A and B are shown apart, each in its own frame.
Chain A
Amino acid sequence: MKYTFVERLLWILLFCLLAVLPMIIAVTGQTPERRDFWIEFGVMLGFLGFAILAIQFVLTGRFRWFAAGFGLDNILQFHRQTGIFALLLVLAHPAILMVYDQDFLVYFDPRANAPRALSLSFVTVATVVLVASSLWRLTFRLSYEKWRMIHGLLSLAILVLGTGHIIMVSHYSEPLWKQAAFSLIAVGAIYLLAHSRVVRPFLMRRRPYQVAEVRSERNDSWTLVVEAKKHPGMSHRPGQFAWITVGDSPFSMQQHPFSFASGATSPRLEFTIKELGDFTASVKHLRRGDPVWLEGPYGAFTFKPGQAKGAIFIAGGVGITPIMSMLRTFRDQRQSFPMTLVYGNRNWEEVIFREEIEKMSESMPLEVVHVVEEPLDGWEGETGLIRKEILERHLPPDRHDHHCFVCGPTPMMDVTELALKQMGFPPWNIYSERFDMV
C-alpha cells in the first residue's frame, strides 16, 4: 500500500502541526511580559527543537499504520534529515540567546545552578554525539548493536532532560496545565520507544520461528529459510521485508532488516543474505531448529498487478532479493503483464538466482537484461555499470505507463534514480529500497 498524494499531504500537515504544538502551548493562555525579538526567536527555536526530537520517536518506531505507506528507507531518510535539523535547533537555541544577551550564559554556569547547568550541558553534548555517531557510525567503529543501544538511551535522556529544562526555566510553562502538556509530549514519545523496544519483542515471543534450512547461493550469499513454530506464520506482499533476530530472545539488539526472497504464495519464508558484515557472515553457521524471531512485514516496495500497464525491475547484486519475491509471486500467479528486469553484477558467476531467472523468462512475459562489470571473453550482453544509455536501450517504448522498482547498492541507486528522472519517469511511479540507512 502506497499513500495517495492527499494522504501524504495530510501526514505532512500533521508533522507541521506536531512540530509547532509546543510553541502553541507556550504562547496560549496566560503569557509573560514581551521580550525582544531575538530572545523570543531563540526560545521558540528551543520549543521547535523539543518537538522535532519528540517526533523522531514516531518516525523510528516502525509503526505499520504509518510506515506502510511511505517505505522505511524514505522514513529513515526523513529521520536523518530532521534529526540534523533538531541538532541545529538545539545548538541555535542557546547560541542566539547568549549572543543577544550574555546574561543567558548563567544557564550553563554550575556555580549558579549545578543541576540546570549540568543537564543543559549534557543535552547539548549528547545531541551532538547522537547525530555524529549516526552519521559516522563506521568511522567511530561502532557496531550496529552498540550504536542502536546508545541511540535509544541518549535520545531518551535528551528528551527527559529537555522537558525538565522547559519546566525548570518556567518562563512559558508557569501554569500547571502547560507543565502537564509538555510532560505528556515527552511521556508519549517515551511510550513509543518502549513500545518498539519492549512491548513489541514481548509480543513476538508468542510467535516463534525456527531455521528450516540454510542454502548456499552465488556471490557469497545464503538463503535462510524459516518456518513458523505452532502458529500460522506471516503473510506478506512480494517486495516487503522483516526484521530478523536470531537467538533465544527477541529482546536482542541484533535485529536486522531483510527482504523476503520467497513469493507471497510460498508456505515457507526465505531471505537471501549476502555476507557483508558480522551478522550476515554468521548466517551460514545457523542450523536447522535454531530459534528466529520476525518483526514485520514492512515496506511499500510492492506492485499490485493492474495498478500499471507493466513493471520494470532494476537490481544490483543482492538487491535482486525483493524483486525475486515479486517475480516468484507473479510466476506462481501466472500473471501476464509485461515485465523487464535489468540486473547488474560484477561478473557472470556472481549473478544470484541466474538459472531461476532464465527459466522464468521462458515461462512468463519477462525480458531480462544482464549488465556485467567484468565480462568474460565472448560476452555479448551489456557491460559496465547500470546507466542511462543501457536503460534507454532496453526499457519498453511505453515505459511511462510502467511502475519502476530499483534496489541495489547506493551508487547504483543514485545513478539509476537520476537516469529515470531524466528519462521522464514520474517520481511517484519509481519505488526504491535502500537498506544501507540502518
Chain B
Amino acid sequence: MLHIYTKRLAIFLSVLLVVVSALIAWWRAM
C-alpha cells in the first residue's frame, strides 16, 4: 500500500473515532 494511503487511513479513522466518542458522550448527556 502506498504510504500516503496509510497516513490518510490513520487520519480518517482518528476523525471517525472522535465522532463516535462525541456520539457516546451525547447519548450519555441526554
B25 CB to nearest chain A CB (Å): 4
CA distance A36 to B28 in the complex (A): 8
A19-B13, A39-B29, A82-B13 provided; 13 other pairs, C-beta below 8 A? A34-B28, A35-B29, A36-B29, A40-B24, A40-B25, A41-B25, A74-B3, A81-B14, A413-B3, A427-B5, A428-B1, A432-B2, A432-B3
Q: Is there a chain B Cβ closer than 8 Å to A63's Cβ?
A: no
Which listed residue (B10, B29, B30) contacts A78, Cβ 8 A? Answer: B10
**Can you list 16 A-B contacts (CB < 8 A)?**
A12-B9, A16-B16, A23-B21, A27-B24, A27-B27, A37-B26, A39-B29, A40-B24, A40-B28, A41-B21, A45-B21, A47-B21, A48-B17, A48-B21, A77-B3, A417-B3
Q: Is there a chain B Cβ closer than 8 Å to A401's Cβ?
A: no
Which A residues are CB-close (under 8 A) to B20? Answer: 16, 20, 23
- Closest A residue to B10 by beta carbon equals A81
Q: Is there a chain B Cβ closer than 8 Å to A70's Cβ?
A: yes
**A417 adjacent to B4 (CB under 8 Å):** yes
Which A residues are CB-close (under 8 A) to B13? Answer: 12, 15-16, 19, 82
**B21 adjacent to A81 (CB under 8 Å):** no
Q: Is there a chain B Cβ closer than 8 Å to A319's Cβ?
A: no
**B6 adjacent to A77 (CB under 8 Å):** yes
156-200 of chain A: CB within 8 A of chain B: none
CA distance A19 to B15 in the complex (A): 12
Interface centre among A27, A37, A39, A52 (most CB of B within 10 A): A37
Which B residues are CB-close (under 8 A) to A15? Answer: 13
Q: Is there a chain B Cβ closer than 8 Å to A85's Cβ?
A: yes
A389 CB to nearest chain B CB (Å): 20
Interface centre among A44, A71, A427, A432 (most CB of B within 10 A): A44
**A16 adjacent to B17 (CB under 8 Å):** yes
A19 CB to nearest chain B CB (Å): 5
Known contacts: A37-B25, A48-B18. The answer to whether A85 contacts B10 by CB under 8 A is yes
CA distance A393 to B25 in the complex (A): 56
Query: Do most interface residues of chain B lie in helix, strand or loop, or is the interface mixed?
Result: helix
CA distance A307 to B3 in the complex (A): 22
B27 CB to nearest chain A CB (Å): 8
- Closest B residue to A428 by beta carbon equals B1
**A427 adjacent to B2 (CB under 8 Å):** yes
- Closest A residue to B23 by beta carbon equals A44
Q: Is there a chain B Cβ closer than 8 Å to A434's Cβ?
A: yes
Which A residues are CB-close (under 8 A) to B22? Answer: 41, 44
CA distance A85 to B18 in the complex (A): 10
- Closest A residue to B7 by beta carbon equals A81
CA distance A60 to B14 in the complex (A): 18
A46 CB to nearest chain B CB (Å): 9
CA distance A71 to B7 in the complex (A): 14
Which A residues are CB-close (under 8 A) to B28? Answer: 27, 31, 34-35, 40, 44
Which B residues are CB-close (under 8 A) to A31? Answer: 28
- Closest B residue to A427 by beta carbon equals B2
Which A residues are CB-close (under 8 A) to B18? Answer: 45, 48
Which B residues are CB-close (under 8 A) to A430? Answer: 1-2
Q: Is there a chain B Cβ closer than 8 Å to A73's Cβ?
A: yes
Which A residues are CB-close (under 8 A) to B1? Answer: 70-71, 74, 427-428, 430
- Closest A residue to B17 by beta carbon equals A19
370-427 of chain A: CB within 8 A of chain B: 413-414, 417, 421, 427
Known contacts: A71-B1, A74-B3, A421-B2. The answer to whether A82 contacts B25 by CB under 8 A is no
Q: Is there a chain B Cβ closer than 8 Å to A242's Cβ?
A: no
> How would residues 47 to 80 of chain A score, 1 for a CB under 8 Å from any chain B CB and 0 otherwise?
1100010000000000000000011011001100
Q: Is there a chain B Cβ closer than 8 Å to A312's Cβ?
A: no
- Closest B residue to A418 by beta carbon equals B4
Which A residues are CB-close (under 8 A) to B14? Answer: 81-82, 85
